[in-house]
Structure 1
């Protein structure tokens, strides 16, 4: 790659408008406040198992004594309130931040290893684990060991004060240990639902997208279910030793723990746990997906089992997840126009959706797609293959045909194409076929981190090239339009099985986006065709798509902007109003029903607590969503009026996308194709280290786990043995762990 063709960044920091001092000060105050609340919350969770923690807890639960909220209000305020307060402060931080200038987000001037991008563990049961994630795992392990130890000491001390036989001591120790494990499980449950809220304001605050956070949910899920299983098992053994196992399992007390409700909750959790194991999930993803909907039963019967005041210990994370789930439900009710659908000969489907101009996303976003003709329940995630600068009224994705759902999608498109062809040939008696799509998202990183590096390496396996097409398009658009954009050296490594996948690169016409871009950007593309030893076609010949069609949804809608990662003000109002509504409903219920009529039943109060959570989201949050929807309609109407003379933006038609020959001679200068070989990352990164020198290099990988591990292992090796003038490689994964 030429080193001298681009000597300076595309846009320097000169002329960049700085935010006012009070805005920067407000952001720092919010950050400090968020960290103080979070650290205090975590510290209390750590000390809770001790006698000191118990004394602090007893003093704090009197905070709402004498108020309608009572004990459950105190516990909720102490253990769930902090995470909800952090979410509200995070909203304020995101609103103040706005769309920050990329130059202000640029990485450090002096290259250095960073905890989030340095892989520590590679290829183990956790996959690729960064240094920051490894520290988090260690903290959870330390907490579990510490809590078990502290509780065991307290249990032994408690039993020593009583006069029991050895058998009775064993039974009490088992039951007390089971009780303590259940308490630890509740604290883990407080974190369990946070990573799977797709538009979570907390994930946006720390800039971790849902696609990456799902692995934290998997780890926490295994840990939580292990603790709850041991919790139930210890009680079962104790009841068996007492000889009243059947009676205790079927017991459903009004005042106290409802055992049978706990059994139902645990069985639902065990079904989710077993079907989520890697072997079962790979064997039948549908079984895993449908069984995982039992989380509703798991949570509801957990509330029955422990009552409102114990359930409130972990209710904060569950409430934030419910907020996200309801918003996703509202967004997904709309059908979306499929503007263009095309089948490539390599087994890849390309879909182009209509979207409003104000829908916010970046080039590394992803969407969840439902095709109602295939399934009303299944939602599948796909990376966006278009840049937001490609056009304000459309968004495209590439789908590799691998399983039953994708195969049915391809067949449906083929049938739709046949119907369209029959209409052109005046054959009206063809079978009816259509595509009715619903979309959730887009989701993704809060900031486009691919624009924060002057030096990029994009490593793709197969259809993993899809998000990198969006990245290349985004960079080229920004260069052409003079927008903030740091990348000046880009190396693309693409491993494919067969050469019929190569035309996917022709879906992006680089010269038309940015003429003479090679004068402004050092771009090199290395393609490895692993299962062919020689070119199957002469250079210059492009595979043509086998079929293409234009599909229109029945209602003619674009994608909805009702998404957690969308407008910060509306999504903030939605969370705040739902939270205020929940507290208000809980207070009114206590004043006019629970306290007035002396309701004492634990399981019934747990049901009312969950009902207040649901009602607050549907009623108060629903009102905000309704106003948000009206605002969306007015905004779209205004856009249509302004664009009336330039009627919508023309979506690139199939002919434009297929006839652009990527392998023309003008592109041969930066494209190398190797047959019958795989990329040697040790050699590749070694050459990059010699050419680019002492710089930060962002390495983004989208592909199977084996590819991620290979790249991560070499990045770790390069960073550990690097010399003073070698680059620092930063690992970024853009792959789903589900």
Structure 2
């Protein structure tokens, strides 16, 4: 996470002046550099220890460590926790310190490179296949995991073959022994993969904020790791089942629940819960019935609980750190989602798109490329749907807006809740207002820790349909920054938008460019290329078409119920304190349990100690983490009320209302509409490369997978055939695919 350089010109320009970023004090830079080095050292040592675990060197090292710590308060469980889980929590603590020091500097994005160059994370290496679009950096991660699994399996199999050769047993029993021990090793490998499985699924994880990986990207990694982990656990179970079947004691072993040793029945239940989640998450099933996928995925609670019962406390502690961070995130999200949020206004447009403007406190900050999860209780108490934010954080301190395309039953019902003008003017208005009232809850916002779109001077924003929503937020954010004279790097923006019909075109008018920045053309070169794919020519009234909502409603509220700031991607001080306090609470809880119960009474049942250890994780989250959340909530109420009183929301909301048919605005940017065509990305990218020369061009795509694939393929092609004076295209995706 690089800070702005003192010599780096940031763009621009208020009244012809250029803003230059302030130099970071030497002490702050030194502390940040030290923290980065320490975190890298911890991560490399920890990752090496995990991936090299099957080797004789690491195995002997672990044995020596356990012997050296034998007889201590926490015993073997504490020894393993210190090696495999504590480093994750320690990195979270250091990340808290690092992000706290970075402060506002993070929100401005990373500095632009002085010289154009390739970046592993924005170079699409593979654009088709089971993983979708995969960058070079992601490819390295995939290769590392696949190599680890193959190497670990071969190493463990070799060890088992050496051991079985020493046994004086019949061939049938040797085969069963080999199968069971191979299954054991596969389960251990799967347990290590489980560590990485839970890290990306924590939406507000402080570690994700550290590396600036937004949740919609981390979800892909969770999906990949989920397939790998469940494949290993499934093979783990199958190998054991075959071995027991050969030995003629299959049913007995499946139902066995040992007090000392592994509880097989608990493992069977955990595996069945995992298989239900895995099968329903496969693309065919998930797309056919998303609700089935969503509801069965809540079986992760059963999976984790019975996993702890299955393996006991000391084996469970291998993955306990990552699971604990997920528990903290889930508990925080539960608190945030309990609050009902005011819908300040709602509109339904002719193109089948809804706009909701939601209330938020001024102290809840987000970036232009952000997501929220939305629940409407009148429609469903269980369904949460992700939507990208269509407003800039600079549009208003006390609200944010989202655009929703009416595509399914849930969105159709939502559209029906917006009263028409006739309904509002009728005599039964109070009844209609009460029945059409929207009670919504929100999780988020989630997104990049830094303003990702501010890292490029040249931006190409490619959208399909409603995918233009986040780009409206980017455009608004850039215009506000130019108007206010704050740091803003983009100076060339091209929006390429593919829509099916022309009735979607007026959505661009939701950004009131003239009101935000009357003379933006002095600082920004804006070009909009629109492709109407299912119409061969414009309609007669196309030139005068303006945006007119079919249904609209403004809801008045005196309670000011805004989105709760209790979110992992919110205030870094409170988020970090929550993690630190809960972790300290876990140590205290486990210590008290060992001192007053486990050690005095010689508790030795594996499954029982595993349950107690998991209970300590829950208790520390509820009590110690809950205390921080209560204090955070009190702070939120006090600061939120004060800031709301000092802000005129009516003025902010007025900015969201578009001013129509402003010729002066249209003269400041280039706009082209082509009918019956799809974008030819080769021609578009080549023309940009010729026009802008040897520069970095940030390409951000929001749309269906086919659009992402086409754009990624062309970015890769242009980069591979690049000559010295050609541009370098950096592929970035902003699509949430589940």
Distance change in 2, residues 1:273/1:428 (3 Å): closer
How big is each residue's C-alpha offset from its partner over 1:513-567, in whole Å with a ceiling of 9 and x where there is no partner? 1002112211000000000001123302224211101235795411111111111
The match for 2:30 among 18, 25, 31 is: 25
The match for 1:477 among 458, 475, 480 is: 480
User: The residue matched to 1:609 in structure 2 has which SS?
Assistant: helix
User: The residue matched to 1:352 in structure 2 has which SS?
Assistant: strand
User: The residue matched to 2:287 in structure 1 has which SS?
Assistant: helix
Instruction: Give the whole-Å Cα distance in 1 for the aligned partners of 2:514 and 2:124.
Output: 36
- The structural deviation recorded for 1:378 is 1.1
Match of 2:462 in 1: 459
The match for 1:404 among 405, 409, 412 is: 409
Instruction: Give the whole-Å Cα distance in 2 for the aligned partners of 1:372 and 1:104.
Output: 36
- The structural deviation recorded for 1:733 is 0.2
- The structural deviation recorded for 1:648 is 5.6
Structure 2 unaligned residues grouped into runs of 5+ = 1-8
Within 5 Å, give how 1:25-104 maps onto structure 2.
25-100=30-105
- The structural deviation recorded for 1:61 is 2.0
Instruction: Give the whole-Å Cα distance in 1 for the aligned partners of 2:615 and 2:644.
Output: 41
- The structural deviation recorded for 1:150 is 0.7
Within 5 Å, give how 1:525-604 maps onto structure 2.
525-536=528-539, 537-551=541-555, 556-604=560-608
The answer to whether 1:723 aligns with 2:723 is yes
Instruction: Give the whole-Å Cα distance in 1 for the aligned partners of 2:143 and 2:385.
Output: 32
- The structural deviation recorded for 1:476 is 0.3
User: The residue matched to 2:417 in structure 1 has which SS?
Assistant: helix
Question: Normalized against structure 2, the TM-score is what?
Answer: 0.95
How big is each residue's C-alpha offset from its partner over 1:67-112, in whole Å with a ceiling of 9 and x where there is no partner? 2211111111111111111111111110011121777821210000
Within 5 Å, give how 1:104-503 maps onto structure 2.
105-414=110-419, 420-422=424-426, 432-503=435-506
- C-alpha contact 1:457 1:492 (8 A) present in aligned 2: yes
Match of 1:714 in 2: 714
User: The residue matched to 2:127 in structure 1 has which SS?
Assistant: strand
Match of 1:505 in 2: 508
- The structural deviation recorded for 1:145 is 0.7
- C-alpha contact 1:393 1:649 (8 A) present in aligned 2: no
Instruction: Give the whole-Å Cα distance in 2 for the aligned partners of 1:482 and 1:496.
Output: 34
The match for 2:620 among 616, 641, 653 is: 616
Distance change in 2, residues 1:63/1:699 (3 Å): farther
Match of 1:628 in 2: 632
Structure 1 unaligned residues grouped into runs of 5+ = 1-6
- C-alpha contact 1:473 1:508 (8 A) present in aligned 2: yes
- C-alpha contact 1:336 1:553 (8 A) present in aligned 2: no
Distance change in 2, residues 1:101/1:375 (3 Å): closer
How big is each residue's C-alpha offset from its partner over 1:412-437, in whole Å with a ceiling of 9 and x where there is no partner? 2247x6653335x7675887221001
How big is each residue's C-alpha offset from its partner over 1:345-400, in whole Å with a ceiling of 9 and x where there is no partner? 11111000011111110100111111011111111111000001101011000011
Range with greater deviation from structure 2 (429-438 or 126-135): 429-438
- C-alpha contact 1:422 1:430 (8 A) present in aligned 2: no
- C-alpha contact 2:506 2:545 (8 A) present in aligned 1: no
User: The residue matched to 1:413 in structure 2 has which SS?
Assistant: coil
- The structural deviation recorded for 1:602 is 0.8
The answer to whether 1:682 aligns with 2:682 is yes
Instruction: Give the whole-Å Cα distance in 2 for the aligned partners of 1:343 and 1:305.
Output: 52
- The structural deviation recorded for 1:650 is 4.0
How big is each residue's C-alpha offset from its partner over 1:556-601, in whole Å with a ceiling of 9 and x where there is no partner? 4111111111111111110000000001100100110111111111
Instruction: Give the whole-Å Cα distance in 2 for the aligned partners of 1:715 and 1:321.
Output: 35
Instruction: Give the whole-Å Cα distance in 2 for the aligned partners of 1:668 and 1:104.
Output: 27
How big is each residue's C-alpha offset from its partner over 1:304-354, in whole Å with a ceiling of 9 and x where there is no partner? 000010001011110000110011111111000000011111111100001
- C-alpha contact 1:455 1:487 (8 A) present in aligned 2: yes
Instruction: Give the whole-Å Cα distance in 2 for the aligned partners of 1:687 and 1:647.
Output: 44
Distance change in 2, residues 1:665/1:329 (3 Å): closer
- The structural deviation recorded for 1:18 is 1.3
- The structural deviation recorded for 1:411 is 1.3
Distance change in 2, residues 1:697/1:286 (3 Å): same
Instruction: Give the whole-Å Cα distance in 1 for the aligned partners of 2:340 and 2:347.
Output: 19
Instruction: Give the whole-Å Cα distance in 2 for the aligned partners of 1:101 and 1:78.
Output: 31
Match of 2:610 in 1: 606
- The structural deviation recorded for 1:64 is 3.6
How big is each residue's C-alpha offset from its partner over 1:412-463, in whole Å with a ceiling of 9 and x where there is no partner? 2247x6653335x767588722100101111100111211111000000000
How big is each residue's C-alpha offset from its partner over 1:43-70, in whole Å with a ceiling of 9 and x where there is no partner? 1112211222210111122354222211
Distance change in 2, residues 1:665/1:698 (3 Å): closer
- The structural deviation recorded for 1:157 is 1.1
- C-alpha contact 1:88 1:572 (8 A) present in aligned 2: yes
Match of 2:5 in 1: none
Instruction: Give the whole-Å Cα distance in 1 for the aligned partners of 2:179 and 2:663.
Output: 70
- The structural deviation recorded for 1:242 is 0.8
- C-alpha contact 2:182 2:239 (8 A) present in aligned 1: yes
Distance change in 2, residues 1:667/1:285 (3 Å): farther
Count of equivalent residues:
726
User: The residue matched to 2:168 in structure 1 has which SS?
Assistant: coil
Instruction: Give the whole-Å Cα distance in 2 for the aligned partners of 1:8 and 1:617.
Output: 43
Distance change in 2, residues 1:63/1:383 (3 Å): farther
Match of 2:672 in 1: 672
User: The residue matched to 2:181 in structure 1 has which SS?
Assistant: helix
Distance change in 2, residues 1:430/1:628 (3 Å): closer
- C-alpha contact 1:111 1:696 (8 A) present in aligned 2: yes
- C-alpha contact 1:475 1:487 (8 A) present in aligned 2: yes
- The structural deviation recorded for 1:641 is 4.3
- The structural deviation recorded for 1:649 is 3.9
- C-alpha contact 1:419 1:433 (8 A) present in aligned 2: no
- C-alpha contact 1:60 1:78 (8 A) present in aligned 2: no
Distance change in 2, residues 1:500/1:641 (3 Å): closer
Range with greater deviation from structure 2 (510-519 or 222-231): 510-519
- C-alpha contact 2:312 2:609 (8 A) present in aligned 1: yes
How big is each residue's C-alpha offset from its partner over 1:609-647, in whole Å with a ceiling of 9 and x where there is no partner? 11100110110000001001111111123224444xx57
- C-alpha contact 2:108 2:450 (8 A) present in aligned 1: no
